[in-house]
Amino acid sequence: MKTWISFPKVEGTATRQAHVRLPAGTYEREVGREGFFGPATQFHHAHPPTAWTRFDGPLRPRAFDLNRVDQNLDCPLSAPPLMGNGATQIRLWRFRGRMEHLVRNADGDDLLFFHQGGGHLYCDYGHLPVAEGDYVVLPRNTAWRLETEEAVTVLMVEATGDAYKLPHKGLVGTHAIFDPAVLDVPQLDDAFQAQKSERETVVRIKSRGRISEMVYPFNPLDAVGWHGDLAPVRLNWRDIRPLMSHRYHLPPSAHSTWIANRFIVCTFVPRPIESDPEALKLPYYHSNEDFDEVLFYHRGQFFSRDNIRPGMVTFHPSGFPHGPHPKAYETAQNYARKETDEVAVMIDTRDPLDVHEAMEATEWPGYVDSWKAK
């Protein structure tokens, strides 16, 4: 057991309530531990913490345009890794057609987020229709394949050596954010029965990053029934009902969707903007000292960013303060917008992430200078 050193104090010109009633002419910066789950201090600065004039070296804010990834791969295991560490691998998979083989990931659970398109996913447990905006959690070693008549773009997040779980919802109760009853599972329906065959079938398995193949003289997706509490689940972002406060800007952790041991996945969905004149109305400047932050932008206008569009990714490694762009900050504080329409997937990792070659090829190098006043 361990307990953080805790001695809440107020020093100098400061507000006693985080993110509310900031001293005139100041910019708040939160320094926190364990993401947004540990102890934190709010500084009040005379200048924006992102007002650097130069930023040299590998530790810098970075942005990538994944719309430039050009591929059509029939095997999701072949999708090149974009970012990763020992606890997760992040990939982007583009595909159109019918997978003629099955895949299994023996390295960990897979989380699929359907950024564009949809189709029909067949797996050990049955048939699961999928559409734009769906998350699908595939338990480790589940055999599956996809059929689609339209082009699909899928963000894939592997929980390496780990499993996805639901966040503990504490005081707000188990039905908050999304009711577990909205989680759909595959069914042994007519579509699943129709795909059964005695045709030779290849199963590709990823284990320790390497691909092996098994060949069956029949299609091994041949279940006649199952029972239990382990199965793939589907959740669409439209079924997420975010926590809101009109008087206080909630931290990203309030929007946690999936939890693994060394990282979390949050989903930002449309919501009203805080209406209290004294409250901050967008993400505050912060130094997340223990986590790297990745944001994948799915749709809408991103209210804390300029020049970011769907299909792009921002990456803020731990070690420097970051936060809203100047124009977005001004717009929010003037309450020019009353609600957000953005949908974004955030991946916060406890261990530093490596950016791989496929990702670096899509980089927007000017992002580090995008906080400069115009």
Q: What is the 3-state secondary structure (H, E, C) of the chain?
A: CCCCCCCCCCCCCCCCCCCECCCCCCEEEEEECCCCCCCEEEEEECCCCCCCCCCCCCCCCEEEEHHHCCCCCCCHHHCCEEEECCCEEEEEEEEEEECCCEEEECCEEEEEEEEECCEEEEECCEEEEECCCEEEEECCCCCEEEEEEEEEEEEEEEEECCCCECCCCHHHCCCCECCHHHCECCECCHHHHHHCCCCCEEEEEEECCEEEEEEECCCCCCCCCCCCCCCCEEEEHHHCECCCCCCCCCCHHHHEEEECCCEEEEEECCCECCCCCCECCCCCEEEECCCEEEEEEEECCCCCCCCCCCCEEEEECCCCCECCCHHHHHHHHCCCCCECCCEEEEEEECCCCEECHHHHCCEEHHHHHCCCCC
**322 among the known binding-site residues?**
yes
How many CA atoms lie less than 13 Å away from 87 in the CB half-sphere?
17
Residue carrying the six token digits 């699961």: 128
| The two three-digit tokens of residue 17, written as one number | 């309530």
6 class by beta-carbon count within 10 Å (0-12 exposed, 13-18 middle, 19+ buried) = exposed
**286 among the known binding-site residues?**
yes
Distances (CA, A) of 128 to 144, 277, 306: 10, 46, 37
**292 among the known binding-site residues?**
yes
249 is catalytic: yes
Which of these is catalytic: 19, 115, 127, 249? 249
Binding-site residue numbers for Fe cation are 286, 292, 322
Binding-site residue numbers are 286, 292, 322
Positions annotated as catalytic residues are: 249
Binding-site residue numbers for homogentisate are 322
